[in-house]
Structure 1
Amino acid sequence: MSVNQDARPDFVTVKGINLLDHIAKNIDAVSAFCPHSSDILIGAYPKSGSTWTVEIVDLLLHNGDAETCRRAPITVRAAFLEASDRLRPKSGLDQLKEMVPPRIIKTHLPIQLVPVGFWEKKCKMIYVARNAKDTVVSYFYFHDMNKTGPEAGPWQSFVHKFMSGELGWGTWHDHVKGYWREREKKNILYIFYEDLKENPRREVERIMRYLDLSLSDEVINRIVELTTFQNMKINPMANYSFVSKNTYDQSITKFMRKGQVGDWKTHFTPEQSAKFDEDYEKKMKNINIPFRTQL
C-alpha cells in the first residue's frame, strides 16, 4: 500500500461533497453496491472512532478471541467501502467480493451517498460520532502524516476549511446530523466517542445487543481491555503500522496519536474557540445531539 509522494491527490466535488479524486471516480460503482443482509456497516466522519469501533465489532463477532482478531490487518478484516485500488492492493468493492458474509464494512460517506442497498436489506449500521473540536484536531494531524491527500497547511486555515466543508467527506456538521436524523427510521445505532471513553463496557454491551449477540461477562471484559487506546496503539494489526511510510508517515505523527477527549484545549486559541463555537451554534441550532467536549 504505497503512493507517489509527488502526486498527492486532490478533492473532487460529488453531489456537493468533497471526495479524493480517485474515490470520486469510483463513486457510481460504490452507489450500486448490493450488500448481504448480514453485513455490518460502520460509519463515521474521519478521525471519529471508526477504527476503534471496527475492532470492537470484530472481537464481538469472534467471541473476544484476540488471536483470531490478529489474523490480518484491520484493513483486511474490514473493507473500506469507497476505497480505490490506487492506494491499496484492492479497492473496497473488489475486497468485498472475496469476503464471506457477515462482512464488516467501513465508510466515511455522508448518509446521502451510502448505497441504498444497505437500507433495503435492513443491514445493521453503527455510526460513531466525536465532538467537532477533538475531531478537527485529530483530522489536522492525520492530514499532516497522510500522503494520500492534500497537505494540511497551517492550523488556522485548516480549522476554517473544517468549518466550511472544504475537507474530505464534507462538513462534520452535516455528516453527524444526517445520520442522527435517520437513526430511528433506518435502525442505526448512533454511538459517541466520548461515551466509549467514559464507559467502554456499557458501550460494548450496547453494540453487542444491537448485533443480537450474547457474550459472557468474561468475554466482554476481555474485549474492553483489548480495545483500550493503549492496547490498540501497540497492536500491529490495528495501529496501521503495516501501512507504507509513503502512505502514512508515522514518523510525523502516529495514526493513533492520543485518543483523548478535550485535547482541543491545547490547540485552539480563545479567539479560535469562540469563532468555532459561534459557527457551531449556527449550524447545529435546530438539532439536539448530545455532544460533549470534555469528560
Structure 2
Amino acid sequence: MSQSKISILQSTPLRPSDIVIATHPKCGTTLMQQIILTLLASGDKNIVKEPMVLSKWAEMTVSNSNVSSLTDWIPDQSTQPSIETPRRVIKTHAPYHLRPWSSQSSAKVVVVSRNPGDACVSMWHHSLDIPAFRYTANFSHFWNFLYSKGKVEHGNFWLWHSGWYNYLQNGGDVLWVKFEDIKENPEREIRRIAEYCCIEVSDEVIWKTVKASSFKNTKKTADTINADKASKGIRFKKNHIRKGESGKWRKTFGEESDGFEMFHVGKCRELEMPLNLFPM
C-alpha cells in the first residue's frame, strides 16, 4: 500500500456503528468474522457463506482499488435483515500505530489473540500454500529465520500484540478475545462479543451462532465454496481454514519447544505483556 493511501485512511474516522476485527495473521480472524456476521444476521448461517467477502479487509481493499471503496462502503441489507442500517464489519491486520482510521468514535474494536506456537505453525502452512511466496523450507527454518525475527506478513507477533495491549491498558475501547477461550467456551465468549458490540440477540441466536462458527461448519462451508470456485476456474486460497486446533504446536516444534517457550516468555517480559494473554 502506498504512503498516500495510508495517509488518507489514517485521516478518515470510523463510523459509530462500525465493528473492527484486529488480528495478527492466523490468530482467529475468520472465526471472529463468522461470529460477528452471524450475530448480525440473527443467527442465519446461510447468509454468512463467505465471511471474508462480507467483512472487508481495510488494507487489501484500499491497495487493490481506491480509498473510497472502503470509506463509502455500505453492506448489503440482505446480510443484516433485522437491522435498519447495516453495520460495517472491517478486518485489519495493522499494528496499532498504523491502524487504518483517524478516530474510533464509538466504533467497536475486537482484538483476537492466539498463542504464538499455534499461530506460527499456522503461518508456516499459510506461507507454503501461497505460490507467490515461493517458500518451501521446513518449519525449523521458518521459525528460526523468519517468524522469530518478525520477517513475516504484518511483522513481529509480539510487537503487534504489545501495541494493541498498551492501547487497551491506557483506556482504549477494545474487547480482547483469546482464540483459546472461544474454543473452550464458545457460548460465553460469543455472549461477551454480542454485548460489547451492542448486538441485541436472543439465546436462540447465540446457540445458532455457536453452531455456525464451529470449525466443522466453517470448514465444510469453505470447502463447498472453494470446490465451486475451482469448477468455474476462479482462483482461491487453498487451506485458508486448515485445522483450527489449539495447543498442538509442540508436535511441530519438536525438540525446539523448550527454546521457543523461553523465547516467548522473554518477549512478554521485555514488552510487559502478561503471559496469560497467550494460553499455551
SS in 2 for 1:126: strand
- How many residues align? The count is 262
Q: Which residue identity does 2:279 align to in structure 1?
A: R
- Give 1 or 2: higher helix fraction: 2
- Match for residue 186 of structure 1? 172
Deviates more, 1:143-152 or 1:158-167: 143-152
Contact 1:80 1:92 in 2 (8 A): no
Aligned to 1:280: 264
- 2:47 paired with 1:61: no
Q: Is it true that 1:123 corresponds to 2:102 in the alignment?
A: no
Confirm or deny that 1:165 pairs with 2:144. Answer: no
In 1, Cα distance between equivalents of 2:220 and 2:66:
27
- Name stretches of at least 5 consecutive residues in structure 1 with no aligned partner: 1-21
Deviation (angstroms), 1:75: 2.7
Please give the secondary structure, in 2, of the residue aligned with 1:98: coil
Per-residue deviation at 1:235? 1.2
Does 2:26 match 1:50?
Answer: no
Residues 85/181 of structure 1: CA separation in 2 closer, same or farther (3 Å cut): closer
Q: Which runs of 5+ in 2 are unaligned?
A: 76-85
For 1:235, what is the secondary structure of its paired residue? Answer: helix
State the 1:277 CA deviation.
Answer: 1.7
Structure 1 position 146 matched with structure 2 position 125: no
Q: Which runs of 4+ in 1 moved over 3 A?
A: 22-26, 90-93, 147-150, 236-247
Please give the per-residue CA displacement for 1:96-133, whole angstroms capped at 9, x wherever unaligned: 523245200000011111034243x2310000000000
Q: 1:92 to 1:230 in 2, by over 3 A?
A: farther
In structure 1, C-alpha distance between the alignment counterparts of 2:32 and 2:224, rounded to whole Å: 11
- Spell out the pairing of 1:1-295 with structure 2 (5 A cutoff): 22=1, 26-70=5-49, 73-84=50-61, 90=65, 94-100=69-75, 102-119=87-104, 121-149=105-133, 151=135, 153-160=137-144, 161-184=146-169, 185-236=171-222, 242=229, 248=237, 250=238, 254-270=239-255, 272-285=256-269, 286-290=272-276, 291-293=278-280
Residue by residue over 1:8-67, the C-alpha shift from the partner in whole angstroms, topping out at 9 and shown as x without a partner, is: xxxxxxxxxxxxxx5778433332333211111100000000110011101111211223
Counterpart Cα distance in 2 of 1:148 and 1:127:
28
1:158-179 Cα offsets, whole Å, 9 max, x none, are 1021111111111111111221
* CA shift in 2, pair 1:135/1:93, >3 Å: farther
The one-letter code sitting in structure 1 at the alignment partner of 2:89 is I
CA distance in 2, matches of 1:84, 1:23: 13
User: Which residue type is aligned with residue 161 of structure 2?
Assistant: V
Structure 1 stretch displaced more, 135-144 or 160-169: 160-169
Paired amino acid for 1:165: G
Counterpart residue identity of residue 98, structure 1: W
The normalised TM-score by structure 2 is 0.84
Q: Distance in 2 between matches of 1:24 and 1:152?
A: 31
- Cα offset, 1:211, TM superposition: 1.2
Q: Distance in 2 between matches of 1:41 and 1:91?
A: 19
Q: Percent identity?
A: 26
Structure 1's 66 and 179: CA in aligned 2 closer, same or farther, altered over 3 A? Answer: same
| Counterpart AA for 2:55 | A
Q: 1:245 to 1:68 in 2, by over 3 A?
A: closer
